[in-house]
């Protein structure tokens, strides 16, 4: 990639980092009621040789912490002493939400709907602005790590808009999550703002909020390392071999047709056919039962784990593939061996 990025001296939040240096720094974002300063912790690792500039960020939604652990595991890798280019690791972007075990900022704003942000806007807008200015705009590539929202879980998946660039598609496949969802950009998301600045960005989604889930962490960790290899940041004899990745071109949410308590009949990663029963909603006495059925066949890539619903609540997220049974089996069996 031809770019002016990766300069001899990179400056982030006033800290100067030369080629070959590895530094921790703190990005000042705000102050709490008690005057405690709030800062986003960042670690920057620069190779001696020029190359791609990649950021990997976790917890833009403060309670989505699988990514925090993925970043921590990347930081322990010995290979980081031999990278080409610059790696910027941000384990927790929404430091407020993280400390409050919450997705949101104290003003109930969603940071991932506040990009690119403004210098003098709301707290969320200012945080987004600082993150864009100091980190994202200095990068050629990015990986943003998420989980499902609270009380939900996601089958590990990459979300990317594949129509904009062939490199994005190649990177999405290289990441090697069981499913790639070709999804439109959301207004105000980091993904949209990064793309407008010509930063190739992948969004990884896996597991639940407020948990460390080893299988998800492994998919995310290996995926990040494979992307680093693919963009020429690391050369490693480790193969980080991946399974084939399959692209879903559409997906839909199955919503509760009735309020009540429900028992699920399927799990994330399962294949379902049109008309299959996904769950049964019952009243408190068990005398009334409503079946929840799949409208179209596909793989369950997201599910509500809270067995209490009111009509219209999202229950299952199903991704549709134009693929053979063999492919469906490969997606279903991803974690088998």
Binding footprint of Zn ion on the chain (CB under 5 A): 61, 64, 146
159/195 with CB nearer Zn ion: 159
Nearest-approach distance from CB 57 to Zn ion, in angstroms: 11
CA dihedral 57, 60, 61, 63 (to 10 degrees): 50
Question: What does the angle CA 327 – CA 240 – CA 231 come to, to the nearest 5 degrees?
Answer: 100
217/294 with CB nearer Zn ion: 217
Nearest-approach distance from CB 107 to Zn ion, in angstroms: 18
| 259-264 LR contacts (CB < 8 Å, sep 24+) | 259/309, 259/310, 259/311, 260/284, 260/288, 260/290, 260/308, 260/309, 261/307, 261/308, 261/309, 262/292, 262/307, 262/308, 262/309, 262/315, 263/307, 264/303, 264/307, 264/316
Nearest-approach distance from CB 164 to Zn ion, in angstroms: 21
Nearest-approach distance from CB 84 to Zn ion, in angstroms: 30
182/208 with CB nearer Zn ion: 208
Please identify the residue of the shown chain whose CB is closest to the bound Zn ion. Answer: 146
Nearest-approach distance from CB 61 to Zn ion, in angstroms: 4
- Of the candidates 233, 222, 239, the one whose C-alpha atom is nearest the C-alpha of residue 200 is 233
Nearest-approach distance from CB 243 to Zn ion, in angstroms: 24
Angle, to 10 degrees, between the axis of helix 214-230 and the axis of helix 166-175?
140
Nearest-approach distance from CB 63 to Zn ion, in angstroms: 9
In sequence order, what are the beta bridge partners of 28? Answer: 39
193: helix, strand or coil: helix
150/327 with CB nearer Zn ion: 150
146/230 with CB nearer Zn ion: 146
203/231 with CB nearer Zn ion: 203
Nearest-approach distance from CB 191 to Zn ion, in angstroms: 11
- The Cβ of residue 102 has, within 10 Å, a number of other Cβ atoms equal to 18
Q: Which residues fall within 8 angstroms of residue 214, CB to CB, at 6 or more apart?
A: none
203/279 with CB nearer Zn ion: 203
Listing DSSP states for 49-70 in one string gives S---EEEEEE-SSTT--HHHHH
Place of tokens 């049974």: 325
CA 169 to chain centre: 16
86/147 with CB nearer Zn ion: 147
Listing DSSP states for 195-224 in one string gives HHTT-EEEEEEEEETT---HHHHHHHHHHH
17/145 with CB nearer Zn ion: 145
Nearest-approach distance from CB 154 to Zn ion, in angstroms: 9
Question: What does the angle CA 254 – CA 256 – CA 301 come to, to the nearest 5 degrees?
Answer: 30
Q: Which residues fall within 8 angstroms of residue 286, CB to CB, at 6 or more apart?
A: none
């Amino acid at each position: 990639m031809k770019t002016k990025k990766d300069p001899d001296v990179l400056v982030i939040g006033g800290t100067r980092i030369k080629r070959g240096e590895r530094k921790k720094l703190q990005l000042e974002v705000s102050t709490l009621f008690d005057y405690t300063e709030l800062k986003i912790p960042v670690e920057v690792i620069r190779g001696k040789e020029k190359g791609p500039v990649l950021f990997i960020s976790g917890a833009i939604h403060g309670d989505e912490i699988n990514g925090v652990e993925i970043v921590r595991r990347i930081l322990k890798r010995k290979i980081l002493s031999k990278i080409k280019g610059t790696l910027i690791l941000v384990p927790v972007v929404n430091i407020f939400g993280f400390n409050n075990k919450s997705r949101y900022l104290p003003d109930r704003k969603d940071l991932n709907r506040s990009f690119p942000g403004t210098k003098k806007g709301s707290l969320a807008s200012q945080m987004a602005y600082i993150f864009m200015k100091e980190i994202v705009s200095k990068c050629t590539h990015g990986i943003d790590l998420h989980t499902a929202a609270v009380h939900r879980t996601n089958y590990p998946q990459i979300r990317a808009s594949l129509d904009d660039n062939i490199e994005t598609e190649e990177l999405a496949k290289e990441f090697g999550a069981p499913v790639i969802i070709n999804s439109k950009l959301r207004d105000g998301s980091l993904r949209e703002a990064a793309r407008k600045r010509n930063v190739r960005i992948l969004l990884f989604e896996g597991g639940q909020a407020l948990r460390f889930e080893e299988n998800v962490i492994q998919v995310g960790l290996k995926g990040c390392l494979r992307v680093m290899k693919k963009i020429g940041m690391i050369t490693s004899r480790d193969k980080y071999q991946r399974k084939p990745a399959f692209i879903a071109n559409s997906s839909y949410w199955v919503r509760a047709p009735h309020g009540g308590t429900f028992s699920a009949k399927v799990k994330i990663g399962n294949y379902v056919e049109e008309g299959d029963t996904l769950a049964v909603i019952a009243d408190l006495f068990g005398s009334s039962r409503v079946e929840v059925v799949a409208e179209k066949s596909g793989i369950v890539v997201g599910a509500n784990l809270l067995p209490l619903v009111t009509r219209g609540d999202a229950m299952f997220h199903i991704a549709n593939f134009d693929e053979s049974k063999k492919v469906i089996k490969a997606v279903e069996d991803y974690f088998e061996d």
